[in-house]
Structure 1
């Protein structure tokens, strides 16, 4: 009888020890700090804790930047998103948390006049960043632009790059999606597809243009000529990712922007900036608007480029 009682106590002790060990293991795992945040070095934290502005394109809506920022939030990069409505008069209406210059905050821009054109978008972007520099102490920023927003982000970086630290924040990293750097697909006559505010033409055509051996487009539209004028002023420290689409239907385009137009930016930046990367998306997901609408391939590349410490999480996302 005594032996039986002893054995019971022994087993109870073993079970208790195992339970404690399992609880400790589970608890320890549960409270471990997120490896992408707390375990970063001070230098790494400084490198990725930069607010990122999302600049929409022609005829954009509130959803134009919401879908891609929602995807980024779902990866745990940040949970802080602020919207800025830019009125036709150039005034700013902020919706959401106050902008923190030392965070991974996402800032979604909405142009209330969504047909202002790429040069007007550049002006508004310049004024917004000057405001944030002065009133929110924003000294460094990332830019992500789609379509005409990609063009505006690039033109801003070229035109005002020399002013970084003198009333304007430094552009740390630039991501362009479907940038119409050398024209947009349209139809003749030219007069029917000419934007009077900035000289944008919708006159490019599939297979009409090509890049020369040195990377410069053979046919130069007014948009490209403007970028080429300001390209020498681009900051040498800039890191740029250019993402473009090819439907794979023989048009060599995303349906709106041809591959030569979207990739012509390489000629202007490769010899001048610190890093230039390019990603080609092929197939139905490469359609012009689809490039920023829950497009996991695009989001993965953006996250890897802007916040490399979250690249592992992005690679595991469910498609």
Structure 2
């Protein structure tokens, strides 16, 4: 095992080094569904997530001409932001990969603060005003909490489109006693009006004969619907039969759906 350790470590560091490099599209998409936009899309991993979570998806998007990766933002153990790459504002459908060094936290409270911090920094340092986001599992939970808690802050970016992947919103064990995080969403619901016109696309999987993707029950993912109902945001759900939790960001059918949800023309365009 020891003789293989340098090889394994070398591969791990190489993979993370490549994850911080820009990824250019090989050709423009020929699917006719893509809108070329300067709005960046953040890719936020869940608990234990790292560069492996989205590297494959980002390369797939580039290979099929959907998008190009321009920035990586790494949040270190002290909560400091480190940006790698170049933002010119000229790239079509630019993507920004988010990495948390401290990715094995007991909850996602730290991630809520870090996401808000990233949205503020992107506006202050790069002049970005609008964003999309793709968030998996607890990364989605943190993204939703950040949106409702801090979304009305004028120093933050305004949301355009959010794609949630297997995101638990209400993790209560008792259906009649919502968890504290879910109750906070209801308390902050009024902040949704600051992002009027934004879209939330809630993608979740379920295994054969089960109402879960193996980790997140369907009811926990769908709990966002009543919170958003009646707000000026558009909300839709996309159940994917047969997809387990981790395949929501690795399966081809999921990647195709995510590309459509991010870059297809809006209904009123």
- TM (norm. structure 2) is 0.80
Residue matched to 1:59: 48
Q: Is the 8 A contact 1:80 1:97 kept in 2?
A: no
| Equivalent position of 1:68 in the other structure | 57
Q: Distance in 2 between matches of 1:65 and 1:35?
A: 20
Q: 1:98-177 to 2 correspondence within 5 Å?
A: 98=87, 100=89, 103-116=92-105, 117-163=107-153, 166-177=154-165
- What is the CA–CA distance in structure 2 between the aligned matches of 1:179 and 1:273, rounded to whole Å? 21
Question: CA offsets per residue over residues 11-40 of structure 1, 9 Å max, x none?
Answer: xxxxxxxxxxxxxxxxxxxxxx95879xx9
Structure-2 residue corresponding to 1:266: 225
Is the counterpart of residue 90 in structure 1 residue 79 in structure 2? yes
Matches of 2:212 and 2:28, distance apart in 1:
41
Give the Cα separation in 2 of the matches to 1:306 and 1:263: 20
In structure 1, distance between residues paired with 2:177 and 2:217? 12
RMSD: 2.4
Alpha-carbon offset, residue 264 of structure 1 = 0.7
Partner of 2:252: 296
Q: What corresponds to 1:306 in structure 2?
A: 262
For 2:103 and 2:191, locate their aligned partners in 1 and report how far apart those are by CA, in whole Å.
28
* Contact kept? 2:72, 2:83, Cα under 8 Å: yes
- Whether 2:203 is the aligned partner of 1:247: answer no
Counterparts in 2 of 1:231 and 1:99: CA distance versus 1, 3 Å: farther
Give me the whole-angstrom Cα distance separating, in 1, the residues matched to 2:253 and 2:29: 23
Which segment is superposed worse, 240-249 or 78-87? 78-87
Contact 1:247–1:254 (8 Å) recurs in 2: yes
Corresponding residue SS for 2:68: coil
1:236 match: 196
Alpha-carbon distance between aligned partners in 1 of 2:262 and 2:69, rounded to the nearest angstrom: 16
User: How far does residue 219 in structure 1 lie from its aligned partner after superposition?
Assistant: 4.0
Paired with 2:223 and 2:29, the residues of 1 have a C-alpha distance of: 39
Unaligned runs of 5+ in 2: 1-26
Are 1:49 and 2:38 an aligned pair? yes
Question: Which residue of the partner structure matches residue 256 of structure 1?
Answer: 215
**Cα distance between partner residues in 2 of 1:86 and 1:280:** 31
- 8 Å Cα contact 1:85-1:110 kept in structure 2: yes
Aligned length: 235
In structure 1, list runs of 5 or more residues that go unmatched. Answer: 1-32, 184-202, 210-217, 310-319
Contact 1:51–1:101, Cα closer than 8 Å, also in 2: no
- Per the TM alignment, residue 260 of structure 1 is displaced from its structure 2 partner at its CA by 0.5
* Residue aligning to 1:287: 244
Q: Normalized per residue, which structure has more strand? A: 2
- Are the counterparts in 2 of residues 239 and 273 from structure 1 also a CA contact under 8 Å? no
2:86 partner SS? coil
The structure with more radius of gyration: 1
Separation of aligned partners in 2, 1:296 and 1:219: 37
CA 1:35 to 1:153, structure 2 compared with 1: closer, same or farther past 3 Å?
closer
